[in-house]
Amino acid sequence: MPIATTLNEQLQRYAIAFEYHSHSHSPSSARIAEAAQVPGHLLAKSVVLKRQDDSYLMMVLPADHRVQLGQLHRLLGETVGLATEAEVRAIFTDCDPGALVPTGSAYGLKTLIDRHLLAESEVYIESGDHQNLLRLPGAEFRRLMAGAEQVDASRHL
């Protein structure tokens, strides 16, 4: 059961407890939640955003939510947009395309996290491929994401 090298190093560094949760190959967060039989509000999805200065940041939010760019613009005091697939692949070289892990800081990205995820008793995260999730107790997920800035910038689909 592969885990992206960068994520694995961070899990080991912080001694994060987790369990593997395999599922059939699925290309998107919504389909992963369905295939893995995980409620969308418990699956963390990662979205890479491009800033005006051409740097990037990551937003981690529940899979059943959508980033509210207007709200992010107000919170950040700048305009951000979605990074292209090519830009994301260039940053997350140890992840399958579209299977981003939520640990943006390990890739040098400022990371924002939606407050909804931090209240959960357990959270599932991508492992870096399209067939495996990691289930983390809520306390472990909060430790993993301790450096992320908490925001309210998403809306339920």
pLDDT at 27: 66
Whether 1 has a pLDDT exceeding 60, the answer reads: no
Query: pTM of the prediction?
Result: 0.93
User: 23 vs 27, 39, 62, CA distance in Å?
Assistant: 12, 14, 18
Burial of 146 (0-12, 13-18, 19+ CB in 10 A): exposed
Whether 127 has a pLDDT exceeding 90, the answer reads: yes
pLDDT at 22: 82
pLDDT tens-digit map of 47-84: 999 999 999 999 999 999 999 999 999 999 999 999 99
Domains and CATH numbers, the chain: 5-145 (3.90.960.10)
Q: CA dihedral defined by 92, 95, 97, 98, rounded to 10 degrees?
A: -90
Whether 105 has a pLDDT exceeding 70, the answer reads: yes
Of the candidate ranges 4-8, 25-29, 33-37, 130-134, the one whose mean pLDDT is the lowest: 25-29
